[in-house]
A and B are shown apart, each in its own frame.
Chain A
Amino acid sequence: MSDQILWFASRGSGVVSLILATAVVCLGFLTVARWQRPAWPRFLTAELHRRIALLSVVFLAIHIITAVLDPYTSLGLVAAVVPLASSYRPVAVALGVISVDLIAALVVTSLLRERIGHRVWRAVHWVAYGAWPLALLHGLTAGTDAFTPWLLAVEIACCAAVTAALAWRIAAGSPRRALLADVVSTSSIAAPATSRRVR
């Protein structure tokens, strides 16, 4: 019976973590696009992005710990951090492991942002584009119930949300970048387009 609890806990926390991570990605797009409304200031979007990310990591930790402790998966601690070291569905687990490694980089750099400076932090943050799809694929391939209706529905909904948010982000473009470039071009001594000022 306790095996069942660990199994349910692992699946449940994994799904919750994925849903929260999906929200984090969407909020990330909203933050960088500087979206706001009169009653919804920008700092709120940014704060939610950060806090839900931490919440997602908490559920991720539960997911990993319960999965490692679960005797059915025979996952050792090593397999949880080293890709392809698992004897249970090695590729599927590896997708999750790599995703966790990338997420660890995101979390560590974000917590140490003041020390490492903005540019390094931003460069590392791009791995989010890898971490999220890997988590989604891990969800589809790692569990025995991957294609039960409810889990499939959740995965499709998450995929749709991120796709829609990404499309919106691309369509919204960078009006600010265009405005800045336009004004900067009137300066006769500004550095050319490679300047870090134009983002």
Chain B
Amino acid sequence: MSGPTTGEPVALAVDRIRCDAHGMCAELLPEMIDLDDWGYPIVATAAVPDVLLADARRAVAACPLLALRFRPLARATMRVPAAARVPAAIPGG
């Protein structure tokens, strides 16, 4: 079973190219994942709260295409911060 083991905060990320709108992630974690008009996930970018970690692991394991995964939070990257490109608040990842 996949999942964070270190106790550090994690969030969810979708491999947008792999995702094919099966929608099981939204069924298993409706608190953090919504579906748009075409069945593709709108994922909350915040850290996964402890109480939802088990459900989040199930959602990650359930994706038939392995498109949902955990990502560490607050990782320094070379990417331009989202605010620099899209000044309006981003509703989801």
Contact = CB atoms under 8 A, between A and B. Distances in A.
Direct contact of A and B (CB under 8 A): yes
A51 interface: no
B66 A42 contact: no
Contact of B23 (A42, A47, A118): A42
Interface string B8-30: 00000000011011111001100
A72 interface: no
Nearest to B65: A118
Majority secondary structure of chain B interface residues (helix, strand, loop or mixed)? loop
A34 B64 CA distance: 11
A182 interface: no
What's the interface size class on B, roughly? 10 to 19
Interface of B: 2, 17-18, 20-24, 27-28, 62, 64-66
A117 B24 contact: no
Contacts of B2: 114
A176 B20 CA distance: 10
Range for the number of chain A residues in contact with chain B = 10 to 19
Contact of B27 (A31, A43, A114, A197): A43
Contacts of B18: 118
A190 to B, nearest CB: 12
Contacts of B64: 31, 46, 118
A46 B23 CA distance: 12
Nearest to B2: A114
A46 B65 contact: no
B59 to A, nearest CB: 8
B65 A42 contact: no
Nearest to B67: A118
A43 B66 contact: no
Interface string A111-153: 0011001100000000000000000000000000000000000
27 contacts: A31-B64, A34-B22, A41-B24, A41-B27, A42-B22, A42-B23, A42-B24, A42-B27, A43-B24, A43-B27, A43-B28, A43-B62, A46-B24, A46-B62, A46-B64, A47-B62, A113-B66, A114-B2, A114-B66, A117-B66, A118-B18, A118-B64, A118-B65, A118-B66, A176-B21, A197-B17, A199-B20
Nearest to B62: A43
